[in-house]
Structure 1
Amino acid sequence: MQLEQSAGETASNWGGTVPTAFDLRVVGLIVVVATLAASVNVPYGGLPVAAVAFLVLLGTGFAVHLLGERKLRRITDELVSRWDEAGGTIEDVTCTTAGSRTEWIVHTPDGDVTVGGVPVAPITQLSVEWQGVGDTMDASEAEENLDRLAETLYEEIFEIGASSGPPK
């Protein structure tokens, strides 16, 4: 299903890219869990086994975080691209504060839309917030229903939002 372009919309200033986000909270959790799990191996296999376990768990944790972040970035990019193609004015897409969350702020004339979530591959969650109202869903479900999700959010943000004006 294609989004229809609204008449009278201005062109976007968006450059077409969504920046990479890095979530220090998830990285911290990965380091703590890897350290605790590896420390259990010290009495049974000694420091060499604990060091190997730490490195394996750390590498796996970083891979899981990277896969989750890529999935969220891909969904965000697709949503913003579809909104732009449909005639929504996208001013810019930026990351939130210096790596403390995996979130992107989509700047529109009608207010900012925050897209982000939990970047852990098997349980990646997508959240979208606009004007204080948010929704969270499984990222795989969002990817499967991307057309419908983009259309619903477009109507809410650009059509209904444009008639009510920017937030005060």
Structure 2
Amino acid sequence: MQLEQQTGETDWNGTVPNAFDLRILGFVGVIAALAASLNVPYGGIAFALVAFGILAGGGLVVHALGQRKLRRITDGLVERWVEAGGEIESVTRSSGGMRTEWTIRTTAGTVTIGGVAVVPIARLSVEWHGVSDSMDAADAEANLDRLADSLFEEIFEIGSETDATGLRTIPQA
């Protein structure tokens, strides 16, 4: 009788979920309303409404572009890790403060990738075992292959040699 070996079940379907953040959109709306209200004494209600529309629309666009950039980077990293032999169990949308984040569950542990999803100041942050590193999102996207290789080595190769506390263990000879 042959027993079936069960490989780790995955919830990952090969895509990274969208991450529009309502808190950032709410923040953009409040700032647009405040800025537009300053125009009431000078241009009237009509001018303030036009200013609100322009500011809110601009804020929505910069958030959408920032979210797409961070999602593209996350998708690229996960794709390269899978190609290199890393096992991805799931990729889910998470949130922390005003950051847009994805939680990636791997066989080596949980990795959180995210950042501020506003395109002119978009920053990418990668956290694993309580240690995080951040960089400009444009730089991360331009050097995605090198970033994926270094993170793969740290997470999947060195990470497999760590114990439950995240401390690196030295293999016994």
Task: Say yes or no: TM over 0.5.
Answer: yes
The match for 1:27 among 22, 25, 28 is 25
Displaced runs of 4 or more, over 6 A: none
Task: Give 1 or 2 for the bigger CA radius of gyration.
Answer: 2
Question: TM-score, normalised to structure 2's length?
Answer: 0.85
Q: Distance in 1 between matches of 2:125 and 2:40?
A: 40
Percent identity over paired residues: 61
Change over 3 Å in CA distance of 1:136–1:100 after alignment to 2: closer
The match for 1:85 among 72, 75, 83 is 83
Q: Distance in 1 between matches of 2:23 and 2:138?
A: 22
What is the CA RMSD across the aligned residues, in angstroms?
A: 2.0
Query: Once structures 1 and 2 are overlaid, which stretch shifts more, 40-49 or 21-30?
Result: 21-30
Give 1:109 shift.
1.6
Structure 2 match to 1:144: 142
Question: TM-score, normalised to structure 1's length?
Answer: 0.88
Q: Does 1:70 align with 2:68?
A: yes
Q: Distance in 2 between matches of 1:165 and 1:73?
A: 30
Structure 2 match to 1:46: 44
Instruction: Report SS of the residue matched to 2:79.
Output: helix
Q: Distance in 2 between matches of 1:136 and 1:99?
A: 16
Q: Distance in 2 between matches of 1:166 and 1:83?
A: 22
Query: How many pairs align?
Result: 159
Give 1:103 shift.
0.2
Structure number with higher helix proportion: 1
Report the AA paired with residue 29 of structure 1: F
Q: Distance in 1 between matches of 2:68 and 2:163?
A: 33
Instruction: Report SS of the residue matched to 1:129.
Output: strand
Structure 2 match to 1:95: 93
Instruction: Report SS of the residue matched to 1:30.
Output: helix
Report the AA paired with residue 127 of structure 2: E
Instruction: Report SS of the residue matched to 1:155.
Output: helix
Structure 1 match to 2:124: 126
Q: Distance in 2 between matches of 1:12 and 1:62?
A: 37
Change over 3 Å in CA distance of 1:30–1:112 after alignment to 2: same
Q: Higher relative contact order by CA 8 Å / sep ≥ 6: 1 or 2?
A: 1
Change over 3 Å in CA distance of 1:127–1:117 after alignment to 2: same
Instruction: Report SS of the residue matched to 1:21.
Output: coil
Answer yes or no: is the 8 Å Cα contact 1:113–1:129 preserved in 2.
yes
Change over 3 Å in CA distance of 1:167–1:82 after alignment to 2: farther
Query: Once structures 1 and 2 are overlaid, which stretch shifts more, 10-19 or 43-52?
Result: 10-19
